[in-house]
Amino acid sequence: MTHVVEGQALTQDYVISAGMFGKPKLLRAVKGANFAVEQGKTLAIVGESGSGKSTLARIIALIDPATGGTLKIDGQPVAIGRGRVPRELRSKVQMVFQNPYGSLNPRQKIGDVLMEPLMLNTDMPASERHDRAEAMLKRVGLGPEHFNRYPHMFSGGQRQRIAIARAIMLNPRLLVLDEPVSALDLSVQAQVLNLLGELQEEFGLTYVFISHDLSVVRFLADEVMVMNKGDVVEQGSREALFADPQHPYTRQLFAATPVTDIEAIRARVARRQAMRLATSAP
């Protein structure tokens, strides 16, 4: 069985401080990432700022070409150079960005936002594009009355629904989600995560999900990849990784994640009370 997306030794170099004289300095933002994701599964890439997770996401989403290594979509190696990504390939891979306030054109109506990918990548007639966009609005929990509204008339959660709708307009195989819920409130985050789960099941979507939030990752990932400073430090199934993290950095991430466990709160409250008694005693 072929994988929807596969990466072999992917690297990305950026040139920093290239002066007029002297050698340009290179920064290796991704130092060899290997992964393969089956259809309908979710690979979560976890790391902090500077870990290279978003750089890797941009490679997988065919936005930036990798410096080295091979990226395969549906078993076919892809090489994107200077030219545009071929229509057929662009229809297969779509992306949802972190900030729903920045990723929608403020002067474009929602209907046009959803119809644009069809206009650019297919030869569908206008009336069909319109119908599809309306159906998609409904699917993500909005209504036809939203069709002619502008992005500023929507809340953050609604905008993220619109961004997700735009991404799946072309029936993609693979969706790259770069921190899609980190800008949202907790209860809205829950709605969007539920929506992503439903859509994955309904359309057989494969997700590459970038996140720094381990509780979100635990909720939806099948495979997890932990990155630190460009290196993949640990990789494995969700069950294995959460049950027994091996790498010190992964453990550090776990230790830093706040726990809402009742027993942990009880212990902390007791500790504080004991300390208070100790300081207030003469």
Kindly list the residues in this chain that would bind other proteins in the complex (CB under 8 A).
48-49, 156, 185-191, 193-194, 197, 212-216, 218-219, 252-253, 255-262, 264-266, 268-269, 272, 275-276
We find the least distance from the C-beta atom of residue 95 to other proteins, in angstroms, to be 22
Closest CA to 60 of 264, 249, 206: 206
We find the least distance from the C-beta atom of residue 20 to other proteins, in angstroms, to be 24
Reduced to 3 states (helix: H, G, I; strand: E, B; else coil), residue 142 is coil
Give whichever of 72 and 247 is closer to other proteins, judged by the CB atom.
247
Under DSSP, the state recorded for 83 is S
Phi and psi at residue 100, in whole multiples of 5°? -70, -10
Give whichever of 124 and 193 is closer to other proteins, judged by the CB atom.
193
We find the least distance from the C-beta atom of residue 83 to other proteins, in angstroms, to be 36
Phi and psi at residue 265, in whole multiples of 5°? -65, -45
What's the order of all strands across the beta sheet hosting 206-211?
A: 93-96, 174-178, 206-211, 42-46, 223-228, 231-237
We find the least distance from the C-beta atom of residue 138 to other proteins, in angstroms, to be 17
We find the least distance from the C-beta atom of residue 158 to other proteins, in angstroms, to be 13
Closest CA to 211 of 101, 51, 3, 73: 51
C-alpha distances (whole Å) from 150 to each of 95, 111, 113, 132, 184 are 21, 9, 10, 19, 19
We find the least distance from the C-beta atom of residue 217 to other proteins, in angstroms, to be 9
- What six digits make up the tokens of 211? 């996140």
Give whichever of 42 and 103 is closer to other proteins, judged by the CB atom.
42
Give whichever of 68 and 197 is closer to other proteins, judged by the CB atom.
197
Helices (H) and strands (E) in the chain, counts: 10, 10
